[in-house]
Amino acid sequence: MKKLKILGLVLFLVGFGIFNSLFFIHQYSIRQVDTSIYLSERQDSLFHHLSEDFSQEIYFSSFSFANKLSELIDQINDFQLKRYSLTPDEINRLTELYQESLTFGMIGIEDIFDKSEPGQFKANAFKNFGGWLEGRTFSNAEELKTSIEAVSENIKLYGVINQKGIDRYKKKDLLYTLTKQSTFGRAREHNLLMFFLSIGLSIIGAFIYVIIPDKKQQQVYKSSISNRGWLGILTGTYLILFYIILYYFPQYMTGWVILADPVSMFIKGSEAGPFFLYGLLYTISILVMGIRMLLKYPNNRYQQIRTLSVMFFQTAFAFLIPEILIRLNKPYFDFKNIWPLDYDFFFDSQLNELLSHGSLGLFMLGWGIFLILLGVPVLVYFFGKRWYCSWVCGCGGLAETLGDPFRQLSDKTLKAWKAERIVIHAVLVLSIIMTIGVVYTYWTGESNFLGINTYNLREAYGFWIGAAFAGVIGTGFYPLMGNRVWCRFGCPLAAYLGIIQRFKSRFRITTNGGQCISCGNCSTYCEMGIDVRWYAQRGQNIIRASCVGCGVCSSVCPRGVLKLENKDEKTRL
């Protein structure tokens, strides 16, 4: 059995090694891509003019290729800025136009600019971006010129780049798309074979490894990967780098994404994107490590059903159904994802997408609102937050399966508990403010809400909370801070569920203090950082807002002191 376990580890490492090698072994050339599909006629003409040498070269690194591509896009923007931005002479003439009266008006603007296409663009842009100056009287010419220069800068930042150039959002998508389309080599030609040799071998190896139990009960404490040893730090570093590339530099991972193309073509009828690959790896991790959980608690019916539940919801609701909906030309929609965890649910793009798909889109919108307003509080009242955090949620599913070997690393100190309460509720408040702002903008068209630019706010929330916190820190820190970093400190939905559970729920964990021998197993294995033993020693029921009802504390208790219950709300305390 030991040799078989070693074989599984070897197969996993071989597959994992091949997977990582595919990050580097592809070749890249832009000459095989029809860039006119992705660029406007003017942009495409500029691109070919600027990229004569680039189009002839073959690159052997996605880093060098994508970085050169980024430089070319910046050159296109620079060219467009010179062509369509206001010149110093035009700014001076605008100033002279109102220098005598010092009162601004739009009459005579067309005379400042020539009749060419760039001139007409400048005139229209100045009217659009300078509307706030209409009728305003200035104290002197210098103040007038300063205001006109401010309008000119806004035209550069929000007019020329958005309408004639390539803004940063389009640039990110363009870098990824062109890099993937430019990728070639034998690994791409035989991507199905490479999928088996990398991801396939990793699955087989991991499966063999996890189905053979460890004889030593305390192996988790001795393992370098699960006790913050060098292997754990290396694993955490790898996960952090993976998430940084996934969220911020997807153009560098096209060699990996190509592996998932055959699976994506089979499921949704189109090539894979970076988040399809991520969803595939995410689902595989939950399935393989879910089997490990099933084998870890063979005689515990609660753990068996709970683990099967997260495996099912991740595979069906989070991965397959949304992708199949895309194949059917329907909106991408995860029926189990709930605001504010699904923070972009009320974004204008999402609302427009749903409303444009008739009755199905309206049903999806209504379903999401129903869960927020009624589904969540009713289910938490009867079952506690465990119905979602431990049975349905994909974040919780990954934490309970892939993250299970790290659960003992969660900080149980009072200081950590205080920080947890401050941070998670701050994120909840921020998500509410951000959502109110984007809905306000959607209905009114005004981008400022209470003095805050709603576009900047939602962009910052997506960058820092949706990506950096939930992804980079939330999963990358498993080997460093335990498997529920995001759930404990960042998830706004967990905060919403927790408030209801704390004050209005039938769920609790009862304790029999007379049977407690203070072994500490319950506290050690609590992934949410709750010092369960403290409650058990005093015979106090546990109704903490952070408790996700995973039941592991009850499973590892040698005396049966702890019991998960849904009883009369009034008897919880």
Q: Residue 529: is its pLDDT beyond 90?
A: yes
d(CA 481, CA 490): 14
pLDDT for the residue numbered 111 = 81
The third-level CATH classification (topology) of the domain covering 506-571 is Alpha-Beta Plaits (3.30.70)
Q: Looking at residue 563, what is its pLDDT?
A: 94
Q: From 510, 507, 508, 525, select the one nearest 561 (Cα to Cα).
A: 510
Residue 86 or residue 53, greater confidence? 86
| Confidence at residue 217, expressed as pLDDT on a 0 to 100 scale | 47
Instruction: Give percent of the chain above pLDDT 90.
Output: 78
d(CA 522, CA 534): 10
State which H helix or E strand residue 514 sits in.
none
- Please determine, for residue 149, whether its predicted confidence score (pLDDT) is greater than 80: yes
Query: Where exactly are the structural domains of the chain?
Result: 506-571
What is the band of 513 on the pLDDT scale with cuts at 50, 70, 90? confident
| Residue 318: pLDDT band with limits 50, 70, 90 | very high
Encoding tokens for residue 264?
Answer: 């994506």
List, in order, residues 6 or more apart from 223 with CB less than 8 Å away. Answer: 229, 231, 405
**Using CA atoms, how far apart are residues 505 and 503, in angstroms rounded to an integer?**
6
Burial per residue of 245-283, b for 16 or more beta-carbon CB atoms within 10 angstroms, e otherwise: bbbebbbbbbbbbbbbbbbbeebbeeebbbebbbbbbbb
Spatial CB neighbours of 432, under 8 Å, sequence gap ≥ 6: 340
**Average pLDDT along the chain:** 92
Q: pLDDT tens-digit profile of 56-69?
A: 899 999 999 999 99
**CA–CA gap between residue 119 and residue 374 (Å, rounded):** 55
Give the percent of the chain with pLDDT over 70: 98
Find the Cα–Cα–Cα–Cα dihedral 320, 321, 326, 332, rounded to 10°.
Answer: -110
Helix (H, G, I), strand (E, B) or coil at 334: coil
| pLDDT at residue 85 tops 80 | yes
382-431 pLDDT, tens digit each = 999 999 999 999 999 999 999 999 999 999 999 999 999 999 999 999 99
Distance of CA 568 to the CA centre of its chain: 38
- pTM of this structure: 0.92
What are the DSSP calls for 158-223, one per residue?
IIIHHHTS--HHHHHHHHHHHHHHTEESHHHHTHHHHHIIIIIHHHHHHHHHHHS--S-TTHHHH-
In the predicted model, what is the mean pLDDT of residues 465-473?
95
Choice among 125-129, 173-177, 360-364, 543-547 with the minimum mean pLDDT: 125-129
d(CA 220, CA 446): 55
pLDDT at 157: 84
Is the predicted pLDDT of residue 349 greater than 50, yes or no? yes
State pLDDT tens for residues 213-258.
765 545 555 678 888 899 999 999 999 999 999 999 999 999 999 9
Residue type, 409: L
Mean pLDDT of 494-513: 94
State pLDDT tens for residues 274-292: 999 999 999 999 999 999 9
Report whether pLDDT(573) > 80: no
Q: What is the mean pLDDT of residues 111-139?
A: 87
Average pLDDT over residues 369-380: 97
Could you give the dihedral angle defined by the CA atoms of residues 400, 406, 408 and 414, in that order, rounded to the nearest 10 degrees? -90
- Confidence band (pLDDT; 50, 70, 90) for 52? confident
* Most confident residue range from 109-113, 153-157, 437-441, 568-572: 437-441
Question: Would you state the pLDDT for residue 221?
Answer: 59
